[in-house]
Structure 1
């Protein structure tokens, strides 16, 4: 069962009035799947997109002499976005719990990384912990929001998903390495090999509109990490935070950071997997993009009831 807000119900009804018309040839069918895929991805990114838009707007138009510091403005704006997400039931309270966990995990890492000089924020505002403005935790929450929403919007199913306790061990080791590599051996390449070993056989099945598609889960990790890397370039360009090599002038974030985001994806997936247990593909659905059973297809633009 799914709950619809009035806005989402209107979107769903309008979409079906258009998309449920008889298809004219395979080209239109493929185009429909492509368009719906893009719309679902955009809907899943609504929290992150809104936060990124605010960060860009603050960089371009927020006055330097304002009574409220820019970082405090970003924190307040992020809180407002999160409240609206819950108020309009774009996220459930069940999902909010894991998003708050993203906050904690991310903020702890931010406190450490800024202390050792991995990156820095402008020293302004009062809504901060040490050198870390509180809006930074919402950037990790945006990743969490995307993960939990895409999980249900695309009705994800998995073949050969590894045991969750094994994935938790790998994620724990990755998280520890984010701290320990400053003092001892950097095990990121060993951890990457472990990720490939653990997830290498896993295939993700996702439903777009009328059809299911499949993708190796490692490819999905890489694509999401690449998307976050692009967003990080926008964030540093806006001077929301800066890496040491950007202090004298902005330059693109090193492609090496893509590996860090790929490994962070494993932590994200493990956290979400404790909210939505990965389920196998039903026996009636084949592995190669089968047709959805007759009846009105679900666009998945709404929240699942708790």
Structure 2
């Protein structure tokens, strides 16, 4: 946990320490603390999404700087602020940059085969893909590394890391190969369920440490990303083929893709924060 976050948590704890330790009020306090930590973990993604939405409403069409280039520069600025204020560490930046690279490679391929498309011009792009697109994947990485620290995540019966890495590699490959050969999506979803079926995630809120099946956690994060994706496509950051004639909700079937992406994301995060058991004494710093 960064010095900034330690200071904020210390203040929150002093304020909440005077609240009841039992009864409905205590659970309300835990719920409030959970919401505050989640919002704090989303600060990078939330800021980026706010900029995308604001640019859709107010960025002038005749501006000298293309909107996509503005979004890229804004994303770079947000990342610099995150590092300068120590909301993210350089150690965590490694995995966030890796998210950026993995996401950009996928974006280049997916736009080339017509899975989705970007509008507008700009100089800061690769093969027609604006560079801000990679920051949307980086936002997922930022959320995961921050939520790991803020909630002091621990796991019981976590599968072998090598097995999760192999599964993540196959999932990533399938995002490309299913355009040419069999789509293994349902097989991979089943493999995820089998691999993580017995895994529980333990997370510290305020006074209480709770737990939930890790598969449920994956699904909830995937659902959250789907909501964010709808805001982004409404803001015309990109469009799916069925949205070209007018915006509509992103297909709920995309939840499966985001669920599988969670496995890739979790494996990348284990590069920085290896999974720990509840009885482990070391906390991420």
TM-score category (smaller protein): over 0.9
1:204-230 CA-to-partner distances (Å, cap 9, x unmatched) read 100001111010000000000000000
Q: What's 2:188 paired with?
A: 191
Residue 177 of structure 2, aligned match among 172, 177, 180: 180
Residue 148 of structure 1, aligned match among 145, 149, 157: 145
- Distance change in 2, residues 1:35/1:169 (3 Å): same
RMSD: 1.5
- Distance change in 2, residues 1:228/1:3 (3 Å): closer
Note if 1:118 corresponds to 2:115.
yes
Using the TM superposition, give the Cα deviation of residue 126 of structure 1 relative to its aligned residue in structure 2, in angstroms. 0.3
Q: What's 1:287 paired with?
A: none
Q: What's 1:55 paired with?
A: 52
Residue 235 of structure 1, aligned match among 227, 232, 235: 232
| Aligned 1:146-225 pairs, distance under 5 A | 146-225=143-222
Tell me the secondary structure at the aligned position of residue 212 of structure 2.
strand
- Report if the CA contact (8 A) 1:119-1:244 is conserved: yes
Q: What's 1:4 paired with?
A: 3
Tell me the secondary structure at the aligned position of residue 206 of structure 1.
strand
Q: What's 1:98 paired with?
A: 95
- Report if the CA contact (8 A) 2:19-2:26 is conserved: no
- Report how many aligned residue pairs link the two structures: 284
Q: What's 2:247 paired with?
A: 250
1:40-93 CA-to-partner distances (Å, cap 9, x unmatched) read 000000000000000000000000000000000000000000000000000000
Rounded Cα–Cα distance in structure 2 between residues aligned with 1:28 and 1:100: 41
Using the TM superposition, give the Cα deviation of residue 13 of structure 1 relative to its aligned residue in structure 2, in angstroms. 4.0
Q: Which has the higher contact order (CA 8 A, sep 6+)?
A: 1
Residue 87 of structure 1, aligned match among 80, 84, 89: 84
What stretches of structure 1 of length at least 5 have no aligned partner? Answer: 285-299
- Report if the CA contact (8 A) 2:2-2:89 is conserved: no
What stretches of structure 2 of length at least 5 have no aligned partner? Answer: none
Tell me the secondary structure at the aligned position of residue 170 of structure 1.
helix
Using the TM superposition, give the Cα deviation of residue 3 of structure 1 relative to its aligned residue in structure 2, in angstroms. 4.0
Rounded Cα–Cα distance in structure 1 between residues aligned with 2:104 and 2:15: 44
Rounded Cα–Cα distance in structure 2 between residues aligned with 1:3 and 1:222: 28
Using the TM superposition, give the Cα deviation of residue 123 of structure 1 relative to its aligned residue in structure 2, in angstroms. 3.7
- Report if the CA contact (8 A) 1:56-1:235 is conserved: yes
Rounded Cα–Cα distance in structure 2 between residues aligned with 1:244 and 1:3: 42
Rounded Cα–Cα distance in structure 2 between residues aligned with 1:183 and 1:255: 24
Rounded Cα–Cα distance in structure 1 between residues aligned with 2:22 and 2:163: 46
Using the TM superposition, give the Cα deviation of residue 10 of structure 1 relative to its aligned residue in structure 2, in angstroms. 5.3
Tell me the secondary structure at the aligned position of residue 205 of structure 1.
strand
Instruction: State TM-score, norm by structure 1.
Output: 0.90
